[in-house]
Amino acid sequence: MIYNCIDLMKGKAVQLVQGRKKALEVKDIGSLIEKFKPFGEIQLIDLDAAMGKGNNLALINRITKKIKCRVGGGIRGVTTAKHVLSAGATKVIVGSSAFKDGKINKDFLVSLKKNIGKNKIIIAIDSLKGKIVIKGWTKSTGIDTFKVIKELEPYCSEFLYTYVDKEGTMKGIDLKLVKKLKKTTKNKLTVAGGISTIKEIKELKKAKIDCALGMAVYTGKLGLDELKKV
């Protein structure tokens, strides 16, 4: 499955390069929603909340009423997760909160699973130079992705792996790496970061890996009409 992304910052949809440099922004989110509706569901991320710089909850509430969304960014407690789900999100994506002091934050994940169920939880594994990064990709946990994925598996139904090394660059994701990652887990896997060709998307589909697309779609490098045919 293809998930087109809407990343929110100060009420606008933006695309960042490696989580730092803003490459573009779109004010008319309504037009994006209409364009993405044929794909069935989008990935909606609150970057402000992820970076601890406020939130876009009111906007998220409006968007989830117009299109199916999996929602992440700044979900640091059960209350917020429940709010997002009650607003209409299909699943919540948790990243930074899944880790604490260089380890898995089991207390949080146990509580989240108990309160909303593992089928509603996606754990984000944002990787830079092979290590999981948190807080909007600004801080490394020092945790190796491949060494922790099996330990995280019981707390979620799916993983979202972002190859931060190439995020926003349209220079291609590491197919060999993500295929290896897929073989390490029985959970669903969605990947993002650098994907920019139909060939890559077909390779991922063949490996039963979903993809989340951002920069390549926003710049027109990947056309929505051709994506519908994949």
Domain count, the chain: 1
Beta bridge partners of 103: 100
Beta bridge partners of 100: 103
Say which CATH number the domain at 36 has. 3.20.20.70
Q: pLDDT value at position 168? A: 77
pLDDT band at 19 (very low <50, low <70, confident <90, very high): low
pLDDT band at 165 (very low <50, low <70, confident <90, very high): confident
Q: pLDDT value at position 110? A: 97
pLDDT higher than threshold 70 for residue 5: yes
**3-state secondary structure (DSSP) of residue 56:** coil
pLDDT higher than threshold 90 for residue 153: yes
Average pLDDT, the chain: 92
Q: pLDDT value at position 50? A: 87
Structural domain including 10 reads 2-227
What letters, b where the CB count within 10 A reaches 16 and e where it falls short, cover 193-203?
Answer: bbbbeeebbeb
pLDDT in tens, 79-103: 999 999 999 999 999 999 999 988 9
